[in-house]
Amino acid sequence: MILPKTRWLFLTIMIFAVARPVLAQDIPVLFPEPLSPRIANYNIDVKLDVGKKTLDGQEVLIWHNKSQDAITELQFHLYLNGFRNSESTFMQESGGRSRRNKLDEKGWGHIEVTSMKLTFGGKLTGAPRYLAPPDAPKVLDNAFDLTGDMQFIQPDNDNAEDKSVFSVPLPRPLQPGEFVAVNMDFNAKLPEPPMARTGAKEDYFFVGQWFPKVGVYTENGWNTHQFHANSEFFADYGVYNVRMTVPENYVLGATGVEVEVAENDDGTATHFYHAEDVHDFAWTTSPEFIEVTGKSQDVDIRVLMQPDHADQGERHLAATQFAVQVFQDWYGDYPFPNLTVVDPRRGAGGSGGMEYPTLVTAGTKYGLPAGIQAVEHVIIHEFGHNYWYHLLASNEFEESWMDEGINTYTDIQTNRARKTTGGDLIDFLGVQVDADQLFRTNVMFGAGRDPIMRRAWEYYSGGSYGVNSYAKPGIVLQTLHNLLGDEVMSKIMRTYVERWRFKHPKSQDFFDVVNEVSGQDMDWFIEQAWYTNATLDYSVTRVTTREVKKPKGFDYTLPVSESDSMMTRDEDEQTNIEVAAASAVPTVDEAAEPDSDDEPQETKLYFSEVRIRRLGQFQFPVEIEAVFDDGEVIREHWDGQELWQKYRYTRPAKLVSATVDPEGQVLLDVNFTNNSATVAQQKLGINKVSERWMFWMQLFLEQPDILHLLQMPRELIK
Amino acid sequence: MILSSIKTGLAQVWKSKRMVLIFFLANLSFALVLMLPFRAAVSNFAGETLMGTKLAGHLPIDFIFELMKNNKSLFSIYGTLFMLVPASYWLLSLFLSGGAFATFARGDGYSSPAFWAGAATYFGRFNRLFLWSLPVFAVLLCLQFLETGFQRLIFGSDPYEYVKYWGGWVKYGLRVISFVLCAMVYDYARIHVVTTGETRMRVSLWHGIRTVFGNLGRTFALAFGLFLCGALVLAIYNPIADSLAAPNAFVVLTLFVLQQAYMLFRMLLRLTLYSSQLFLSNKLAGAPAPLEISTDPQGLEGAAA
Ligand SMILES: [Zn+2]
């Protein structure tokens, strides 16, 4: 049932929507059939004061109750309050630092809602209609004034000083299928310099997480979290109409498509942007932006460069074009018509390397050598988010790996696809580094403190959040990829994207796709890789080979059997017994067999043994390769379950080496060096690295000031 | 004058080839101390693995990180070694430099007793001279802040990145120049000690400063020219060394020979610098060269006193 007042409002909304054809025509319709459940729809009018770095905004949120519950309150994020003072949860957790950035003395950021009015709408059939900002306040004249009812809440901890989430009780329960229109006035101050993805530096503004943003209502009620140092975001999809007023000489870029730019009398201009089926809206403005445009497949690309990086505009564009092309080819359509790439100003690195719907930020340095592909990597990574963060939009507060981790996995794919010679990330002054090597190193050094599965702010440390949200799931997925093969894995990824577009998948949804598409029960892998901190490390711990001497002693005959003997035991103490038993019954390979009768002369036989240990708790099936000096290569498969495994061979050739995972497919293995063992010392390699090391030591002794060259990068980063 | 200094310097070094060898062996033996723990760790970690084989080719980045991860004690070992060995090496070089300057001052080539006597004679004085020189070095090293000041003055506190980038290189250049200047002052002061037998180190230091800055064009051109020569050959060496990546014994040996040839060349350059500077110093003082001053008993007696 709809209250009389609400019914009036609803009718008015519909009338306005229909009776203002000018407006309806002005706003382009991107997707006649909505791509997403358009739950949270925003009309925002915002004015930027470039001197004070403040925002003055009016927001109308049209929010639909698409749940089965009667909802009694609304919850909103006020992310900018994370920068309010030293006591906010963000500041407490971050120690005032985010990446390398620190706020200026007076750089605090904050946001206040100065007025909140609410009106109920009725049940809608079909796609909802929206109001443009100038009209919305009129409609809401008779609304409930909830300004005094807002209350800060702290869903994640008991930090009463944190003001990044508030709740407001509804005058009456909002029934399933109904919607509300919430009219808010707000003032905000942007942090200086940009911090944790948003803020201002001189005349450069990157405006992210900037407006009162409704939480997500799930089957478990409101899913709203405070702004944490180690967390990204979660939001519902909707339609955004945003009018941003900035000085008229400023260039502006934003989520969505530009509808119009209107010049005002006071030297400002109002830029009107419209976006559909997005779950956030960010914008940037600066008088200094230099625009570089291009196209990739069906996507228009606009790169906004800083003047001191103007010479890298084409580099940015080429990386973006590549990203759009491979992602569309591999993971399906990017349905939006355009993409904006923002190059942050010097001193505003805190706004770099971030993703927003249809808008991403990169980050480079003047003089960045072509051999250091950092900026290409960032751009491709951030565009990748437009799939995992934007099209699929998992809950980054609670399952950060589903965005950053999958994106790290796709980073590995895109880097490999771009690789020509040398390292695919760094190929500079003889140093060659591939992206997966870098990620694997992260895992090696720092993954052990948590499993991947944790809520973002509950990891042991910022470092542990980082490695378990990015590198570890990336390497886990690449290991899975290598195990299942290219074809199966690409089918998994494609199925996952197609099935879960605009639906906020959870971890189990991804795992279900893995099991279904691979046709295997991969839970044994998923359980270990995602839910434990188990280390994977298989090692060839011993290789021996010796000539089989004629047996000594009483009544002894040499039996010949064709199979290799294999044993496994849980207890190391039993090893000796097993070895003793085995040497009493040596075995020969098939290759040696035919000789035994026909050839009168004796063939020398060698008894060789390979011992492999599982040094970590992670159990994983592995291939083993034993190489003999007659060129023979024997492959074994071990399920990797027990603590160790031995392979014994009696063959007419000496064992040369044994390798576990000879192709280096198991990237999760934290030690590749111990994956092989050779019977002979490998002096040549040791000599080579030693002589190179010694030469640098000689040089260093002779000219210690050579170390000052190492200061150059620091000079540049400052 | 510079070319003739270098020519004379080279001729002097040629007469004292064994001295080059002494400097080279000193460098090699100290570098060996810095190399052995590394070699032991690598050998222990990868000596009997296929990774060890791979190391003969291009150095895999995975290996470097795995070595670091699994050999944490290397960090503490090298933490100590990097403090002790360079300092000891510096002292030894200082000791040997006394012999070298004495030999060049005599001008009749290397003779073992004279070399070692020179080394012993001047070691104490060179050390005192170093202490006297520290404030001068500090002032010279501040040269780099000229760039910081000018950048601030011209471009303010928020310059474009290219200003910082090129400013960074200028600063680096200034730092190199100030290192060269420090070394020059110290060299000419030592030359003064050896050629005059001076025992008051502040006098020699003052002489060194006057020689360097009184004839800056010539003194700097000589020292910086030879410095550049060393840097240039290193720049040529690097790509050649990188190309020597084939995993076979011949290539590994060739690389070793190349490296040591370069180090020998460095020692030759250093001694040529000493000898040319001595020649230049005498020329500037109007004295005939080479001088036979170090045979002057006053010098040796002064040291013994
Ligand atoms: Zn990311």
Q: What is the pLDDT of residues A430-471, one digit of tens each?
A: 788 999 999 999 999 988 899 999 999 999 999 999 999 999
Phi, psi angle pair for A36, to nearest 5°: -130, 165
- Please determine, for residue B291, whether its predicted confidence score (pLDDT) is greater than 70: no
Tens of pLDDT along B168-188? Answer: 899 988 998 999 999 999 999
What is the rounded CA–CA span in Å between residue B234 and residue A702?
Answer: 13
- How many CB contacts within 8 angstroms connect chain A with chain B? 191
Tens of pLDDT along A556-597? Answer: 555 554 444 444 333 333 333 333 333 333 343 433 444 444
- Range among A392-406, A417-431, B227-241 rated most confident: A392-406
DSSP for A280-309, written as a single string: ---EEEETT-EEEEEEETTEEEEEEE-GGG
Half-sphere exposure of A430 (CA within 13 A, CB side): 13
- For residues A485 and A562, the model is more confident at A485
- Please determine, for residue A9, whether its predicted confidence score (pLDDT) is greater than 50: no
What is the rounded CA–CA span in Å between residue A124 and residue A516?
Answer: 37
Chain B hits for A347, CB-CB cut-off 8 Å, are 158
> What is the pLDDT, as a whole number, of residue A713?
54
Contact criterion met (CB below 8 Å) for A211 and A121? no
Contact criterion met (CB below 8 Å) for A336 and A391? no
Best of B161, B177, B229, B269 to mutate (most A CBs within 10 Å, chain A): B161
> What is the pLDDT, as a whole number, of residue A421?
77
Alpha carbon distances (Å) from B203 to B188, B199, B278, B305: 12, 8, 17, 18
- Please determine, for residue A714, whether its predicted confidence score (pLDDT) is greater than 70: no
Confidence band, pLDDT 50/70/90 cuts, at residue A711: low
Letter for the amino acid at A510? F
> What is the pLDDT, as a whole number, of residue A712?
57
The nearest alpha carbon in chain B to A438 belongs to B62
> What is the pLDDT, as a whole number, of residue A155?
94
The nearest alpha carbon in chain A to B49 belongs to A677
Q: Does B77 touch chain A (CB under 8 A)?
A: no
Cβ neighbours around B158 below 10 Å, total: 11
Average pLDDT over residues A513-533: 97
Cα angle B262-B266-B268, degrees, rounded to a multiple of 5: 115
Contact criterion met (CB below 8 Å) for A303 and A361? no
Out of A306, A682, A702, the one facing B47 most closely (by C-beta) is A682
Tokens of B44: 């222990």
The sign of the dihedral angle between the CA atoms of B190, B191, B194, B195 is negative
- Radius of gyration (C-alpha) of chain B in whole angstroms: 22
Tens of pLDDT along A47-63? Answer: 999 999 999 999 999 99
**What DSSP state is assigned to residue A545?**
E
Q: Do A698 and B28 touch (CB under 8 A)?
A: yes
> What is the pLDDT, as a whole number, of residue A552?
72
DSSP for A221-243, written as a single string: EEE-----TT-------EEEEEE
The nearest alpha carbon in chain B to A432 belongs to B61
> What is the pLDDT, as a whole number, of residue B159?
93
Q: Do B160 and A308 touch (CB under 8 A)?
A: yes
> What is the pLDDT, as a whole number, of residue A423?
85
- Please determine, for residue A540, whether its predicted confidence score (pLDDT) is greater than 50: yes
- For residues A329 and B238, the model is more confident at A329
- Please determine, for residue A393, whether its predicted confidence score (pLDDT) is greater than 80: yes
- Residues A223, A227, A229, A235, Cα dihedral to 10°: 50
- Please determine, for residue A100, whether its predicted confidence score (pLDDT) is greater than 50: yes
Q: How far is the CA of A384 from the centre of ligand 1 (A)?
A: 8
Instruction: Report the share of chain B in percent with pLDDT over 90.
Output: 60
Confidence band, pLDDT 50/70/90 cuts, at residue B56: confident
Beta bridge partners of A612: A540, A645
Among A309, A55, A337, A316, residue whose Cα is nearest residue A205? A55
Cβ neighbours around A405 below 10 Å, total: 25
- Please determine, for residue A405, whether its predicted confidence score (pLDDT) is greater than 90: yes
Average pLDDT over residues A366-387: 94
Contact criterion met (CB below 8 Å) for A200 and A32? no
> What is the pLDDT, as a whole number, of residue A591?
39
Q: Do B30 and A366 touch (CB under 8 A)?
A: no
Helix (H) or strand (E) holding A170: strand A165-174
Q: List for chain B the helix, strand, coil content (%; round to 5).
A: 85, 0, 15
Chain B hits for A683, CB-CB cut-off 8 Å, are 47
Q: Do B241 and A692 touch (CB under 8 A)?
A: yes
- Residues A67, A68, A73, A79, Cα dihedral to 10°: -20
> What is the pLDDT, as a whole number, of residue A401?
96
Among A291, A287, A307, residue whose Cα is nearest residue A205? A287
What is the rounded CA–CA span in Å between residue A630 and residue A608?
Answer: 14
What is the rounded CA–CA span in Å between residue A364 and residue A359?
Answer: 17
Cβ neighbours around A174 below 10 Å, total: 24
Contact criterion met (CB below 8 Å) for A399 and A506? yes
> What is the pLDDT, as a whole number, of residue A122?
64
Q: Do B168 and A715 touch (CB under 8 A)?
A: yes
Q: List for chain A the helix, strand, coil content (%; round to 5).
A: 35, 30, 35
Out of A678, A684, A690, the one facing B249 most closely (by C-beta) is A684
> What is the pLDDT, as a whole number, of residue A632?
95
Alpha carbon distances (Å) from B229 to A702, B22, B161, B278: 15, 22, 32, 19
Q: How far is the CA of A408 from the centre of ligand 1 (A)?
A: 8
Tens of pLDDT along B4-17? Answer: 888 888 888 888 88
- Range among A539-543, B56-60, B300-304 rated most confident: A539-543
Confidence band, pLDDT 50/70/90 cuts, at residue A415: very high
Looking at A198-207, A653-662, B219-228, B283-292, which range is the least confident one?
B283-292
Among A57, A112, A106, residue whose Cα is nearest residue A85? A106
- What is chain B's mean pLDDT, rounded? 88
Q: Which residue has the tokens 């006394």?
A: B98
Give the distance, in angstroms, between the CA of residue A340 and the centroid of all CA atoms in the same chain.
Answer: 19
What is the rounded CA–CA span in Å between residue B264 and residue A688?
Answer: 20
> What is the pLDDT, as a whole number, of residue B2?
78
What is the rounded CA–CA span in Å between residue A189 and residue A195?
Answer: 13
- Please determine, for residue A98, whether its predicted confidence score (pLDDT) is greater than 90: no
Confidence band, pLDDT 50/70/90 cuts, at residue B289: very low
DSSP for B20-74, written as a single string: HHHHHHHHHHHHHHHHHHHHHHHHHHHTTSHHHHHTTSS--HHHHHHHHHH-THH
Contact criterion met (CB below 8 Å) for A257 and A61? no
Alpha carbon distances (Å) from A538 to A570, A658, A713, B63: 15, 12, 38, 16
> What is the pLDDT, as a whole number, of residue B287?
58
What is the rounded CA–CA span in Å between residue B207 and residue A485?
Answer: 76
Chain A hits for B238, CB-CB cut-off 8 Å, are 430
- For residues A2 and A445, the model is more confident at A445
Alpha carbon distances (Å) from B19 to A675, B24, B97: 49, 8, 10
Looking at A95-104, B46-55, B117-126, B232-241, which range is the least confident one?
A95-104
Phi, psi angle pair for A60, to nearest 5°: -120, 120
> What is the pLDDT, as a whole number, of residue A578?
38
Out of A365, A685, A700, the one facing B53 most closely (by C-beta) is A685
Beta bridge partners of A609: A544, A648
Among A658, A600, A610, residue whose Cα is nearest residue A633? A658
Among A578, A584, A582, A577, residue whose Cα is nearest residue A556? A584
Letter string b/e over residues B269-278, b meaning 16 or more CB atoms within 10 A of that residue's CB: bbbbbbbbbb
Cβ neighbours around A482 below 10 Å, total: 17
Q: Do A682 and B255 touch (CB under 8 A)?
A: no
Half-sphere exposure of A284 (CA within 13 A, CB side): 36
Alpha helices in A467-604 (DSSP H): 472-484, 486-500, 507-518, 523-531, 575-584, 595-598
Please tell me the total number of residues recorded for chain A in this structure.
718
Confidence band, pLDDT 50/70/90 cuts, at residue A716: very low
Average pLDDT over residues B71-80: 92
Letter for the amino acid at A536? L
- Please determine, for residue B301, whether its predicted confidence score (pLDDT) is greater than 50: no
Chain A hits for B62, CB-CB cut-off 8 Å, are 437, 440-441, 672
Alpha carbon distances (Å) from A319 to A10, A26, A408, A414, A427: 47, 33, 16, 10, 17
- Please determine, for residue A131, whether its predicted confidence score (pLDDT) is greater than 80: no
What's the distance, Cα to Cα, between the start and end of chain B in Å? 37
- CB within 5 A of ion ligand 1: which residues? A 404
Give the distance, in angstroms, between the CA of residue B106 and the centroid of all CA atoms in the same chain.
Answer: 23
Confidence band, pLDDT 50/70/90 cuts, at residue A101: confident
The nearest alpha carbon in chain B to A681 belongs to B48
Cβ neighbours around A262 below 10 Å, total: 13
What is the rounded CA–CA span in Å between residue A388 and residue A327?
Answer: 11
Cα angle A400-A404-A405, degrees, rounded to a multiple of 5: 90
Q: Do A671 and B66 touch (CB under 8 A)?
A: yes
Q: Which residue has the tokens 């002057």?
A: B296
Q: Is A121 exposed, middle or buried (0-12, 13-18, 19+ CB in 10 A)?
A: buried
Tens of pLDDT along A346-356? Answer: 999 999 999 99
What is the rounded CA–CA span in Å between residue A498 and residue A559?
Answer: 61
Alpha helices in B197-215 (DSSP H): 201-214
- Please determine, for residue A357, whether its predicted confidence score (pLDDT) is greater than 80: yes
Question: What's the pTM value of the predicted model, to 2 decimals?
Answer: 0.87
Phi, psi angle pair for A129, to nearest 5°: -100, 160
Out of B27, B55, B67, the one facing A688 most closely (by C-beta) is B55
